[in-house]
Amino acid sequence: MSSSVAENWFSADGLPNFSAINASDIVTVITAAIRDCKTVIDNVVEKQDASYASVFLEIDEVDTQLSNLWSPVSHMNSVVSDDEWREAHDACLPLLSEYGTWVGQHEGLFKLYQALSESDEFANLDMAQQKMITNTLRDFTLSGIALDAEKKEEYGKIQARLSELSSTFSNHLLDATMAFQKHITDEKQLAGLPDSAKSAAAQLATQHNLAGWLFTLDIPSYLPIMSYADNRELREEMYRAYVTRASEIGPNGGEFDNTAIIEETLSLRTKIANLLGFEHYSQRSIATKMAESTDQVKTFLHDLARQSRPQAEADLAEVKAFAAEQYGRTELQAWDVGYYSEKLKQDKYAISDEELRPYFPETHVVPGLFEVVSRLFGLTIKERMDVDTYHQDVRFFDITDSDGNYCGSFYLDLYARAKKRGGAWMDECRVKRRRTDGSLQHPVAYLTCNFSGPIDGQPACFTHDEVVTLFHEFGHGLHHMLTKIEVSAVSGINGVAWDAVELPSQFLENWCWQPEALQFISGHVDTGESLPKALLDKMLAAKNFQSAMQMLRQIEFSLFDFTLHMQTDNVDVQAFLNDVRNAISVLTPPEFNRFQNSFGHIFAGGYAAGYYSYKWAEVLSADAFAAFEENGIFDISTGRRFLEKILQMGGSKEPMALFVDFKGREPSVDALLRHSGIVT
């Protein structure tokens, strides 16, 4: 980059200089970077050199500069945003959308890629290079390269608007979540709440110069109330606020309503699909997925639902009977189910998430995670203190392989805080690629969660669910950082079919349940004692508590998303969701529930007509883990095979081929049902 401002954004080793990035410079820097990209592409096309070095490498060099600049801007907008930053970020979205469309519809560049694919050189390229070219030609088609000029323009306008709508949806959801607070001064109202939840609420109140306790709709604050608070009115108030966020009946009087955004998004996605010759958006989605047809996806989901439903009905009947017999509660509302389910779980298994929490302090969980991947894949992970981060809670780590070779690095951002988007995710800071000068750009990841932070000078203590979430995101991170592929478009998670990208993340979750691994993942916050066998046995016994209900819930979300995106006419989204629930669910939420208005995965993320990917990939991950169950959960040769056949291969081969390379056969759903405790 010629701009000195842009150069200041990076340290000597190429990592973001977060403290040097000013919101006021963002639009200027990104605009200049896009201009440079266009200049290089035009120069490449003008040369008419249909070689890999010219067509891909020259453009990849300047495109990487753009993505390396945009990465910290986009990430900070999600984790430490303010009004000025958001405004600058959102101002860049139409510029980036326009650039993406410009590239995807560039006739000259398309013809060069076609010529390269038909050249003698193509046969001599390696597998990753060939896969990149094949994917790129497919993506040209999906960007409307074959459309006439008028339709190309329409496509570009729609894509720009969709980008804007996605950001607005996300902003509304964050704002609606932050706008609600519940301040309590009477401790009697908090009966049943565990001390950890009360301490966190007291600490939050103090930070706001308030007496008593302060609760928000962030998950670490919200969930304990729904699971433990004896105060039914409090549970109802929090539930109503949570499930009506960003809707016309939300606690802010509809100020952050996402309803119209959802309707316009669906309409525009249908138009995009139709422009490209697809019947509907789900068909467009499948064009880049592992699944072969929309019918295959629907059949997969309905089969899982059919096999799960009898047990889910039994799960629900059990908690209803328990609430009636033990507590005289004969009708369960939505804000009662989690509470009485927790009571039932404690009654059946004599265990609760809060009883386990002291055994999962950050000081054991994070090193324990590192020990798991060390035993599996021979990795060494060390913290580095000399790196500029964007928040005082963020840590930075380097990974080396079993031969001492540097693989990549990651930022670890674990705690919930104001101005931070909810949920957990892995994102790319930099991708692995071979530069034109022959040097390597190593991969760097952002690993982001929203857990309860340290309280009263004690280390942060996590629920076991949070431990599972951390392992999940770290699985994504390993996929990104351990890749051996040096072609940016198919290295790490790039070029991986969306319905296969969850394989490494869900795979790594399994070690959170293994007694051998829990010996070093756990350690009491005060004594350091590992999880006692009695507690471990109870935890494992309770592993599949209400698992069939959870399975149906995920299938409900998946079918809602996938079949909604199959509609070609305007649809009443709430009525449509209700119909899906009536067909699939055993537990129907109240009429006022507006789940769809906060369904960021499909309206502000990459999962549109693809939420089924979680279940699809869970079949792969369960079947992959079965190899470790057979050979030993820390079997070195099995771990190396998974590393070499899956993690290191990125998107260089089709996911089914990679799975067969690892497992020796195509996947079976049996392991998933067995792991979930669902008997069919």
Active site members: 473
* Alpha carbons 584 and 62: distance in angstroms, whole number: 49
- How many angstroms separate the CA atoms of 509 and 504, rounded? 9
DSSP annotation of 589 reads P
Three-state DSSP state, 121: helix
Q: Which DSSP helix (H) or strand (E) runs through 389?
A: none
Strands (E), 419-546: 425-430, 433-434, 440-441, 444-451
Strands (E), 189-340: 213-216
**Measured distance CA(522)–CA(301) in Å, rounded:** 35
Q: What Rg do the C-alpha atoms of the chain give, in angstroms?
A: 25
Are 498 and 558 in contact, with CB atoms under 8 Å apart? no
Distance of alpha carbon 130 from alpha carbon 124, whole angstroms: 9
Tell me the three state secondary structure of residue 218.
coil
Q: Alpha-carbon distance 7 to 444, whole Å? A: 18
Exposed/middle/buried for 458, CB within 10 Å: 0-12, 13-18, 19+? middle
Say if residues 477 and 446 touch (Cβ distance below 8 Å).
no
CA 57/CA 434 separation, integer angstroms: 9
Query: 307 phi and psi, to 5 degrees?
Result: -75, -25
How would you write 252-272 as a 3-class SS string? CCCCCCCHHHHHHHHHHHHHH
Long-range contact pairs involving 161-165 (C-beta distance under 8 Å, separation at least 24) = 161/264, 161/268, 162/97, 162/265, 162/268, 162/269, 162/272, 163/93, 163/94, 163/96, 163/97, 164/90, 164/93, 164/94, 165/261, 165/264, 165/265, 165/268, 165/603
Asked whether 494 and 488 are in contact (CB, 8 A), the reply is yes
Q: Is 135 helix (H, G, I), strand (E, B) or coil?
A: helix
CB atoms within 10 A of CB 188: 8
Please report which helix (H) or strand (E) contains residue 237, including its range: helix 232-243
Residue 651: both structure tokens together = 């998107």
In whole angstroms, give the CA distance from residue 486 to residue 442. Answer: 9
Instruction: At 115, give phi and psi (nearest 5°).
Output: -60, -40
Closest CA relative to residue 72, chosen from 385, 390, 384: 390
- Burial string for 541-560 (b: 16+ CB within 10 Å, else e) reads ebebbbbbbebbbbbbbbbb
605 Cβ contact partners less than 8 Å away, ≥ 6 residues apart: 166
> How far is the C-alpha of 78 from the C-alpha of 232, rounded, in Å?
34
Contact criterion met (CB below 8 Å) for 133 and 117: yes
Could you give the CA distance from residue 518 to residue 512 in angstroms, rounded to a whole number? 7
User: Within 10 Å of residue 433's Cβ, how many Cβ atoms?
Assistant: 24
